[in-house]
Amino acid sequence: MRRPVLGVFSLAMLNLAIVCTLRGLPVMAEEGLSLVFYFVVVAIAFLIPLSLISAELATGWPPRGPGGVYIWVTEAFGHRWGFLAIWLQWVQNVVWFPTGLSFIAATLAYVYDPSLAENKYYMISLILAVFWGGTLINFRGMRASGLLSSICVLAGTILPGIVIILLGALWLLSGGDSSIGFSARDLLPDISNIRNIVFLAGAVTIFSGMEVTAAHSQEVIDPKRTYPRAIFLSAAIALALLMLGALAIAIVVPQKDLSLVAGVMETFTSFFRSHGLGWLVPVFAVLIAAGAVGELSAWIIGPAKGLMVTAENGDLPPYLQKVSPEDVPTNILIVQGVIATAASLIFLFMPTVSSSYWILTALSILLYLLMYLLLFAAAIRLRYSQPDVERAYAVPGGKPGMWLAAGAGFLCVLFTFVVTIFPPAQIETGSELFYVGFLVGGVLVMCVAPFVILGFKKPSWRPR
């Protein structure tokens, strides 16, 4: 058995690499001051319940291996639903890769020529180069991936996040014009049209992923103590850093000029050039891109290893069951790379880079939200079906406490799912029919696929 290598700090850094990303800040900055309302609501109704429930489930079922949601949903509702849950966690990740990579590409454009951030062919080229480079790094195993994530999240996410918050405050204190109002009326979102609140999904997806590191349970030192501490530490840091960072961007960059993929660097450019520090723009572009690479690295390996656990029940064909000496599911990584490469082509068919970014983000969110519906329902079910399982950490309040936490999370996710189907009012997405059809069709195809795989399942697929 491999020696555990992840402690509280390294696990918290992995959580932050997954959850705490500057990539989503421009999406929330589109909402102006009302982003504070969204962050508070999502923290109460989603982030806190998800953190509590992830800590309970990860410490209650760690001996079963790195299955995460597959184990939890299977224990609650059976094998087929468990396979659907882990499939959704994996496939949403594959759909999301081009959007995460586009943020890296747009950020690096500020090292050479910021106009490249709106060039579709530059974006696709760099997306593919960075993605396959990150995949090759993950072939070396969790020690390399964990070290990369820790370094990148410190240098490329936390440091720039703190700087952008401080510079936002300096912008106001030095007399800079604010692009948003600060009245009580500005704090509440406009809910007269459902298209105005589509970016609520952005707040939910920013905080999604707390459950992913359960895929590394066998590599965590003393998981019953480490998991709760790491989860709560990373949740607190993420909430403070992301809310204040998004607010800083909203203050500096007018909504009409804000790019969903390059908004962070637009803000740094405005900050530094207004103070005669333009030479720092490429420096921070490299740092922020490094932070996004750390996030990418954590997402490449986590869901892939979770999906690999289904091979124990013979749910995957033999080709996808290949594992390297470093315990890396190499062929799954290759297949997800091929799918992510194909998904990147959407950049050629949407009106702008921002619209391409959002439609892939929306599809990824919808798939992920379906997985969360299963996760929150499983948490309630397991309190009744397996009450005697030892949980080193349990959601406070007994069964009513679990109903409150999981119920709040379930309702928040369900509402966000419905809202996400509508095109946002803030950006141009082209044909509404194509937009809705792409999302609905994509969700249906991705949800049917795991059941088709199970329909072709053969006894020979089960490993000896």
Question: Which is higher by pLDDT, 264 or 147?
Answer: 264
CB 251 within 8 A of CB 13: no
pLDDT at 403: 96
Instruction: Give 428's contacts (C-beta < 8 A, 6+ positions apart).
Output: 351, 352, 355
Tens of pLDDT, residues 387-444: 988 887 788 889 999 999 999 999 999 988 988 888 876 666 667 888 888 899 999 9
**Residue 247 pLDDT > 80, yes or no?**
yes
In which band, very low, low, confident or very high, does the pLDDT at 250 lie, cut at 50, 70 and 90?
Answer: confident
Separation in Å, CA 26 to CA 35, 233, 355: 11, 24, 13
Q: Find out whether 428 and 259 touch, Cβ atoms under 8 Å.
A: no
Helix (H) or strand (E) holding 129: helix 120-138
Helix (H) or strand (E) holding 59: helix 48-60
Whole-number average pLDDT of the chain: 80
- pLDDT band (50, 70, 90) for residue 206: confident
Most confident listed range (1-10, 292-301, 397-406): 397-406
Q: Please report the pLDDT score of residue 440 as a whole number.
A: 92
Contact criterion met (CB below 8 Å) for 100 and 376: no
pLDDT tens digits along 59-83? 787 534 445 788 899 999 998 999 9
Nearest to 378 by CA among 11, 68, 94: 68
Answer with the residue of higher pLDDT: 334 or 425: 334
Q: Under CATH, which architecture does the 8-461 domain have? A: Up-down Bundle (1.20)
The two tokens of residue 90 are 């994996």
- Regarding pTM above 0.85, the answer is no
Looking at per-residue pLDDT, the higher value among 84 and 285 belongs to: 84
Could you give the CA distance from residue 212 to residue 202 in angstroms, rounded to a whole number?
Answer: 18
In the structure, what pLDDT confidence band is assigned to residue 286 with cuts at 50, 70 and 90?
A: confident
pLDDT digits (tens, 9 = 90+) for 91-126: 888 887 887 778 788 888 888 788 887 788 888 888
Please say whether the beta carbons of 23 and 100 come within 8 A. yes
Bridge partners for 6 per DSSP: 220
Name the residue ranges covered by the structural domains of the chain: 8-461
DSSP 179-193: SS--SHHHHS---SS
Give residue 99's identity as a one-letter amino acid code: T
